[in-house]
Chains A and B, each alone.
Chain A
Amino acid sequence: MRNLKNLSFLALSLLLTLGFQSCTKKQNLDEKVLNLAVTAEIKGLDPIYANDLYSSSEVARVYEGLLEYHYLQRPYTLTPNLAEAMPTVSEDGLTYTFKIKQGVLFHDDAAFPEGKGRELVAEDFVYSIKRLADPKLQGLGWWMIDGKIAGLNEWRAKNAEKDSVDYSEKIEGLQALDKYTLQFKLTKPFPQFLYSLAMPFTFAVAKEAVEKYGKEFINHPVGTGPFVLPVYQQSNKIVYTKNPNFRKKLFPTGASEQFKEIEAANKGKTLPLVEKVIVNLMKESQPRWLNFQKGRIDYISVPKDNFDSAITPDNGLTGNLAKLGIELAILPSLDVTYTAFNHDLKLFQNVNLRRAMALAVDVHESNKLFYNGKSLPAQSIVPPGIAGYEKNFTSPYREKDLEKAKALLAKAGYPEGKGLPEITYDCPSSTVSRQQAEHFKKQMAELGINIKVIQNTWPELQKKIQKRSIQMWGIAWGADYPDAENFLQLLYGPNRAPGANGSGYDNADFNRLFEKATVMQDLPERTALYEKLNRMAAEEVPLIYGVHRQNFTVKHSFLKNFIPTDFDAGQAQYLDIDLKAKAEVLKKL
């Protein structure tokens, strides 16, 4: 009887286990499917609202722009996408004329007659950029073209007062000269303007689709891109399929030396290389990491909590992961973290005080504490990877030197901190930000400076910066485009908050040089000026620089052509899956 009971128990356990086994789904190995994970909700699929990395990556699967970053070139280089070639630029640097590709079709959609996508024409870009400027829509990329295209600001201001926006009005600086010719006239020379044409904000949308779907256009993406997604429903999963009408776009050539192999392996292949892209929303790091290890996600950034178990001190992969053929790619991010001073306060107009405080910070210790020791201590404001950054430049106020800091503090008029009021340091309310603030407080105490840490929600912090009711705060800046101007503008006086220059630093020499550099074309003279500005930014310590972060990405061996990038606008079309290799890898996982 007892044996019978045991037997029944065993049988039941077996049945349950088998039942559960069938609960896990087998991966489809019949077609090439790219499985990606995103860590934040997508803000819909309207290009003019794509102001974060996640939304812009999604928008770029469906929509396209005139230009894109060459997939196989570093440093980042702009290359034509929907434009036939790079534009012709007038001698005064004010007029940019583009020829656009002929025969490019919008996705098939009910918005078009008989549901057939029509051909893209130059007028579509005129319409799309007007949409970005439409005061009623509040497009999030307006800053990129604000004040740059002749007549556009006036059009925007005029229509802000009206009940409905008049799209038919001609704008001097934004015209379709004929079906395939597009011309921009700028108000002043601004070579960085071209970067805006590779950003999802200016990607081409079809007027018919906007008008048909109205406010719901954000859920009905209709572009010319490599993938289609007829209806976007907010969910934990977005599934794109290959656009059957995609033009013949070949895998790019002209790779930088390090990517020659990828170029050779894919020469002549038409894009996109996969049939389907599945984007899974996984906000928490554990499921993301476990799903990656099970081969259900093709690549991910190594989550902070799994860093020590995945990455060795010499930036390699730990044994387990290496055995499975997983590969590691390290990308220095185009960003900088910093502690800002409010330069409106007389206290911080004292350069010796700023330098003393910078010298009391041990960047190596904070790198170890908060970035697993894998970030690069920032010598100034411009990150590596773009012109203006000098590999061998070291700031005189970067390495911790308490003796020198104390001497400078005395020179500033506050020997051992005497006479200094308590200084408030505002930070966002996240755990890491608070820890970083406490670490800063501890280091300042060594110098005799009292810091009071105040935590804020993100909007509260923004409001304080904007209203200038703040003393010091910790923050970071990520590149919008790969140009030093995007970082140096943080110190340009006229850009003060609510512009990008939150600290309100205003130095006439810096401003003059900045104005000179930013209207120059990308030439060695401009790089020399950027380097000079970067050195000024290091010498004057308008901010206490932190680190340039590095992104550690792991990928499965069956994922081909993966190159980490700061600007994932269309990357999925170049990626490929080796199904045979995937089947082998999955057996081991």
Chain B
Amino acid sequence: MNIWSYIFRRILYVIPVILGVCFIIFFIFNVCAPDPAQSLLGKHATLQQMEEVRRELGLNKPYWEQYIDIVKSAFTFDFGRSWQTKQEIIEMIKLGAVPSMTMTVPAFVISTILAIIISLMVSFFRGSALDRVTVITCVALMSIPSLAYILFGQWFFAYELGLFEISGYESGFPYFVPYIILPVTIWVFLAIGPDVRFFRTVMLDEVYQDYVRTARAKGLSEKKILFKHILKNAMIPIITYVIIQIPFLILGALLLESFFSIPGLGAMTITAVNASDFPVIKAMTVLSAVAYIIFTIITDVLYTVVDPRIRLK
């Protein structure tokens, strides 16, 4: 099948998925969630005012209309205004996406490249002391809660040693750089454990394949076997693992943004959850769902690029 018709067909499949996702979001936030009127109006709310607020927010509309509104927003990206801050949600998202990505993209790239290099090394020296030490270190890194990295990093490296800014953010390159070095470093430490363990497993699966033995028998160098054969064949699970994480890079890192006062989408989502700001939560949920679906399609298409044996159907 032609790649474009495949993409077109997949996009058509996306429509019922989005409708389903919208239904779940509608059910959670419009049917099950408590009435927000009083919490929005504060401690002096009157019944009449609450009624007016419900009308203003469209909460007195029939359920089917409220569902249509969510579906519309998923396709038009017009999410209305935040209940709490009265800001246009799409503007809030635009403003927040850049700071999120200035932190998450470098962190993701560095941690992924490092993890692939380390995994290749340990699979080359599989069973050796280096392999064991790496695996133990990975498990140890994974066992420490992310909050501990953040608290320690902020206190020791930023406050005690004064090497980094404790928190904050400034827009534009290179002004944001001093503010993201520490959160990026912490991200790398957080991500490297699970990444190395996953990549190592994937590569070891390949290491014991017949084609590797054949390559060795033919006298190919270990370097060539690792980089040309093993890495190439391990790319499919690696691509899946990597690309599926991309939507979450746009959406930011909840704890890191909150602790480092980075005005990204992660911090925005936490604030919205704490304030029961449903339009913002709904917008973020719809966006994540849409982004997840899009990146799944991209993953499928990329499979054919790394492995021509795979055909799109």
Contact = CB atoms under 8 A, between A and B. Distances in A.
Given A41-B84, A236-B262, 15 more contacts: A17-B163, A21-B163, A23-B164, A24-B162, A25-B178, A138-B53, A143-B49, A234-B95, A282-B167, A284-B258, A284-B259, A287-B167, A291-B167, A462-B38, A499-B46
Given A49-B86, A135-B52, A234-B95, A290 B181 contact: no
B159 A294 contact: yes
Contacts of A284: 167, 258-259
Given A49-B86, A283-B261, A286-B259, A236 B168 contact: yes
Count class of interface residues, chain A: 35 or more
A470 B52 CA distance: 25
Contacts of B50: 498
B178 A24 contact: yes
Contacts of B187: none
Nearest to A42: B85
A160 B49 CA distance: 11
Interface in B162-195: 162-171, 177-178, 181
A49 B44 CA distance: 13
Contact of B168 (A233, A280, A293): A280
B26 interface: no
B43 A500 contact: yes
B38 A466 contact: yes
Interface stretch (B128-136, B150-158, B230-238): B150-158
Given A23-B178, A143-B46, A459-B276, A41 B39 contact: no
Contacts of A283: 258, 261, 267, 270-271
B127 interface: no
Given A43-B84, A160-B52, A234-B95, A140 B165 contact: no
Contact of B151 (A40, A286, A457): A286
A144 B49 CA distance: 13
Contact of B263 (A24, A235, A460): A235
A458 interface: yes
A457 B275 CA distance: 10
B36 interface: yes
Nearest to B273: A457
B144 interface: no
Interface in B249-287: 258-263, 267, 270-271, 275-276
A205 to B, nearest CB: 15
A212 interface: no
A560 B169 CA distance: 27
Contacts of B181: 20, 23
B177 A237 contact: no
Contacts of A286: 151, 154-155, 259
A44 interface: yes
A46 B84 CA distance: 12
Interface of A: 17, 20-21, 23-25, 40-44, 46, 49, 51-52, 135-136, 138, 140, 142-144, 146, 160, 215, 218-219, 233-237, 280-284, 286-287, 290-291, 293-294, 296, 457-460, 462-463, 466, 477, 480, 498-500
B15 interface: no
Contacts of B34: 457, 459-460, 462-463
A119 B87 CA distance: 29
A43 B167 contact: no
Contacts of B56: 136, 138
A236 B167 CA distance: 10
B263 A234 contact: yes
B47 to A, nearest CB: 5
A272 B286 CA distance: 46
Interface string B86-125: 1100001001000000000000000000000000000000
A138 B81 CA distance: 14
A458 B277 CA distance: 12
A160 B51 CA distance: 12
Contacts of B270: 283
Contacts of A462: 34, 38-39
A20 B275 CA distance: 37
B150 to A, nearest CB: 8
